[in-house]
Structure 1
């Protein structure tokens, strides 16, 4: 897989179109890997995905709504630290953002993914 290189120019990050597509591929690979592990009953994978969205690691852009969603799902799957991380994250979010995260988690479960986290 091609390595992502980000040039720092005047203290800001700039990226070429190919860098963005490589980051998208890395993000998609992480998401796919975590979801496959979750399907096998691994709530740690959902927690890892939530951490990536909350910290911006592994080429994933920070997205607190997605992070909250995955912490919710990891908590449903029994991950011990997920409820605490979800609560900490919620302190940085608006009520509308939290409601959207909860809606997305319910939608993910409703779409037949419940067996993946049970």
Structure 2
């Protein structure tokens, strides 16, 4: 089982960093529950933010739910990390395009 989750985590990371919304969403889930990675609400919020930018409304919903369990400082840090990532990396594959109304625009 450990090898399977490790493979899934690595695959998610690779695809999430290439802007695949489903993998960004999965990455948020993994961090939010601590499956295959340490539980990290800041990282989870960041990945849900990025997935929401790529048009996954369910990521927006989980991001909001998670924010209710975080301090204002942690939410601010998650947003800062997402913005920093946006400034240096691909957000969504070109064919899908970002959906700003779902993502960081709410801040």
TM-score normalised by the chain length of structure 2 = 0.74
Which of 68, 73, 77 pairs up with 1:100? Answer: 77
How many residue pairs are counted as aligned between the two chains?
A: 92
Shift of 1:85: 0.3
Structure 1 segments of 4+ aligned residues over 6 angstroms from their partners: none
TM-score normalised by the chain length of structure 1 = 0.68
Q: For structure 2, which runs of at least 5 residues remain unmatched after alignment?
A: 99-107
Q: Which has the larger radius of gyration?
A: 1
Aligned match of 1:83 = 60
RMSD of aligned alpha carbons: 2.3
Cα pair distance change 1:52/1:37, threshold 3 Å: same
More strand by share: 1
Q: For structure 1, which runs of at least 5 residues remain unmatched after alignment?
A: 5-21
Aligned match of 2:103 = none
